[in-house]
Amino acid sequence: MIYAVTTSVVTPVKNVTSQIPIVFSVGSDPVASGLVQSFGKPGGRLTGVQYSATDLTGKRLEILKEMLPKLSRVVIIYNPNNRMSVEAAGLAREAARHLGVQLIERQATSVEELRQRVGALKAKEADAYFYISDAMVTTQAQLVIDMAMSKKLPTMFAEQNLVAMGGLASYGQNFHETGRLSAKYVQKIMTGAPPGDLRVEIVDKFELVINLKTAKQIGLTIPPNVLARADKVIK
């Protein structure tokens, strides 16, 4: 059996195997991606968990605006060759227009280019850094976080572990819960259950995490009404 994470990994794994059961954890629609026939009856040898990836972009920006009432400009950095990143950028533009926020877009097609974009960002160029779904950016998250801290720039991410690394806040799925659910599929298949009979489960619980230590370091006070809604607070 194989356990694979993200559609960009699951798809080639599926294509180069023919009999091995695969449990996946993906952010995109597994039916639209051709991984399974349906959520209720996957068919074949794949099943697993779908978590929300890009459709929380607008909500994250809305929360960032609540945290920073005077927010007027946010910067995003993404790979224009990544389909999910381009979709997320479009959602960010739509949300920014709705919230009256200017979106500053920077594109990078390689890690080297990403480092250049991050290094060239000026302190007064934006009021905050806003993460949109991009695997390459995630691999360089510490670089982005360190840059933001040095420029006292608030950050909003999708993953909780990036807040633990020094990011200001995140709003998104709990990947520990996703892993727990994935383990259930592994257990069932290893004990004989056919993958095609195990419905794909959707993770729809999202958590707001705020790092007060980071807020203090960049001189930011989180509004009490936002802090009260946080599922986790790092002090």
Residue-level pLDDT at 54: 58
**Angle of CA points 169, 84, 66, to nearest 5°:** 30
When pLDDT is averaged across residues 153-161 and rounded to a whole number, the result is 94
Q: What is the pLDDT of residue 151?
A: 92
**pLDDT at 146 (0 to 100):** 96
Amino acid at 31: V
Q: What is the pTM of this model?
A: 0.78
The DSSP bridge partners found for residue 165 are none
HSE, CB side, 13 Å, CA atoms: give it for residue 117: 20
pLDDT at 66 > cutoff 70? yes
On average, the pLDDT of the chain sits at: 94
Q: What is the mean pLDDT of residues 10-15?
A: 96
Tens digit of each residue's pLDDT (9 = 90 or more) over 176-199: 889 999 999 999 999 999 999 999
| Domain architecture of the chain: domains with CATH | 2-53+173-205 (3.40.50.2300), 57-172+207-234 (3.40.50.2300)
- Strands 169-173 vs 206-211: parallel, antiparallel or unpaired: antiparallel
β-pair partners for 209: 170, 232
The pLDDT of residue 37: 96
pLDDT reported for residue 53: 65
Can you read off the two tokens belonging to residue 134?
């991009």
What are the phi and psi torsion angles at 57 (to 5°)?
-55, -50
Share of the chain above pLDDT 70, in %: 99
Distances (CA, A) of 154 to 23, 122, 214: 36, 14, 9
Task: Say whether 132 sits in a helix, a strand or coil.
Answer: coil
Give 187's contacts (C-beta < 8 A, 6+ positions apart).
Answer: none
pLDDT tens digits, 33-43: 999 999 999 99
Q: Looking at residue 84, what is its pLDDT?
A: 83
